[in-house]
Chain A
Amino acid sequence: EIVLTQSPGTLSLSPGERATLSCRASQSVSSSYLAWYQQKPGQAPRLLIYGASTRATGIPDRFSGSGSGTDFTLTISRLEAEDFAVYYCQQYGGSRYTFGQGTNLEI
């Protein structure tokens, strides 16, 4: 099983600042199969990024994804109030999916 470790667990920033969230895999992950989700309290996760760097439909361009192999990054260039939420990375490999434990982005 590929384990995804996200860091930091909690990130405290202010609106307008830049956020950098990390997702590290226990073994190499195909970039095609790495995605990021945003989850707000009481809501289902929302797809942000897939294929490590492709923004999903309707996602603002302040969200960007990068990385390859075992190290992936989600960057939010200028935080807006609505961006404060929990973020999860997810990978597919070996006919199964795993998620990271999440990063709580708080004000």
Chain B
Amino acid sequence: QVQLQESGPGLVKPSETLSLTCTVSGGSISSYYWSWIRQPAGKGLEWIGRMYVSGSTNYNPSLMSRVTMSIDTSKNQFSLKLNSVTAADTAVYYCARDMTVRFDPWGQGTLVTVSS
């Protein structure tokens, strides 16, 4: 079955760019949308944005100005870049297959801390 795994630096300095990659295994990335979702410690879930293989994207308006997503079909990966980060961006970041009606499955999540 499809599995997702996030990877990237666990520590990012304020004002720099957070970069994460999600590797999809057990299925092709060339179908469905693929989303990023984050969760600050002890808080709820926030959708960041999604991307389709065609390049079509939708972003959360609250983050739109700082977010870029991309897909690499040759590696079956999709990526997230969030620039100008602050401590408020510290969270567990999840990638998920986006079937519009539902997110399934999810990656295990990766903690990103923004600190100098």
Contacts and interface: CB of A to CB of B under 8 A. Distances in A.
B58 A50 contact: no
Nearest to B56: A95
A32 interface: yes
Chain B: interface size category = 10 to 19
B60 A96 contact: yes
A90 to B, nearest CB: 7
Interface in B47-96: 47, 58, 60-61, 94
B94 A92 contact: no
22 contacts: A33-B101, A35-B102, A35-B103, A37-B103, A45-B94, A45-B106, A47-B102, A47-B103, A47-B104, A56-B104, A92-B101, A96-B58, A96-B61, A97-B35, A97-B47, A98-B47, A99-B44, A99-B46, A99-B47, A101-B44, A102-B44, A102-B45
Given A43-B108, A96-B58, A100-B44, 14 more contacts: A35-B102, A37-B103, A44-B107, A44-B108, A45-B45, A45-B106, A47-B104, A50-B101, A88-B45, A92-B101, A96-B47, A98-B47, A99-B47, A101-B44
